[in-house]
Structure formats: structure tokens, C-alpha cells
């Protein structure tokens, strides 16, 4: 399991001992942002609704709740780095995610784009995940 930022940073070392990476995206998100998943519901909405000025444009602090849709700019960069480092050591390394991001269509698109082999999610999200994965492969 790659669940903390340091594991992503040393993924090449980890790949010498394993045949697969499973990214625990809920924990990786929590550790990357420094947010408590248990408390985030109290303030995430403020971050997704509050706009700040960046280069004259008004943008939200967070585009989406990072516990619902994978944050591709931060957490996603750690994931991409880990995949690249891991596959340099072990080219046939199987890679996937587990957690609720595995049932989110936008997150599934990201997983497809970085060459993951699978997504895993809770049973009630499986139908959505299967449709999103099929659509992502076809695009």
C-alpha cells in the first residue's frame, strides 16, 4: 500500500520487493493535505466555494472535495511519480487504487491516464466504477 507521501517518494525501493502497488488514496489525500478526513466535512465546503484571485482570475481554493474526487495536481503528482519510479525498477508492476476514489468517474479517468491496471471501491459504487472505467478506456 502506498498511503503516505514518503512511500511515493521511495517507490523505486518498494518496487524491488513487491509485484504491485495499491494506492490508498483516502489516506494519501489526508496525509498530503494535512487534513483530517474525519473533520474535513466541517470546512471543505468553504474551500470549494471561496474564491481567491490568481493572476487576475477568480478561482476556488479547491475545485472539488479531495476526498470525493482525486486531487490530480497534488496527490496525483505523487501517484504519477510513484508509478514512474516503480515501473523503472519493475516494468510489469501492477498498479491500482483502493478507496472511494475508485468509484468516482473523474478519478477513474485519471487512473486510466496514468496507466493503472485496476480500481477498487466499495460494493455500492461498483456499477458506476465499471461504467466509468469502460468509458475511460474507450476515450
Residues in the chain with pLDDT < 70?
A: none
Query: Which pLDDT belongs to residue 138?
Result: 86
Instruction: Look up the pTM and report it.
Output: 0.91
Query: Which pLDDT belongs to residue 109?
Result: 95
DSSP letter, residue 57: E
Sheet-wide strand order for 94-98: 20-24, 94-98, 118-120
Measured in degrees and rounded to the nearest 5, phi and psi for residue 56 equal 80, 0
Query: Which pLDDT belongs to residue 41?
Result: 86
Query: Which pLDDT belongs to residue 60?
Result: 86
- Phi/psi-derived region of residue 20, left when phi > 0, alpha when psi is between -120 and 50, beta in every other case: beta
Query: Which pLDDT belongs to residue 24?
Result: 95
Query: Which pLDDT belongs to residue 113?
Result: 95
Amino acid at each position: 500500500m502506498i498511503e503516505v507521501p514518503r512511500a511515493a517518494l521511495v517507490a523505486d525501493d518498494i518496487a524491488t520487493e513487491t509485484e504491485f502497488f495499491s494506492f490508498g488514496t483516502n489516506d494519501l489525500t489526508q496525509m498530503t493535505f494535512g487534513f483530517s478526513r474525519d473533520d474535513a466535512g466541517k470546512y471543505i465546503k468553504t474551500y470549494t466555494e471561496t474564491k481567491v484571485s490568481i493572476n487576475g482570475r477568480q478561482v476556488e481554493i479547491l475545485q472539488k472535495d479531495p476526498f470525493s474526487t482525486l486531487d490530480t495536481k497534488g496527490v496525483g503528482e505523487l501517484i504519477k511519480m510513484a508509478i514512474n519510479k516503480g515501473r523503472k525498477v519493475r516494468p510489469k508492476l501492477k498498479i491500482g487504487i483502493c478507496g472511494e476514489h475508485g468509484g468516482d468517474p473523474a478519478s477513474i479517468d485519471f487512473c486510466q491516464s496514468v496507466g493503472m491496471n485496476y480500481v477498487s471501491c466499495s460494493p455500492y459504487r461498483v456499477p458506476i466504477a465499471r461504467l466509468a472505467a469502460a468509458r475511460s478506456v474507450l476515450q
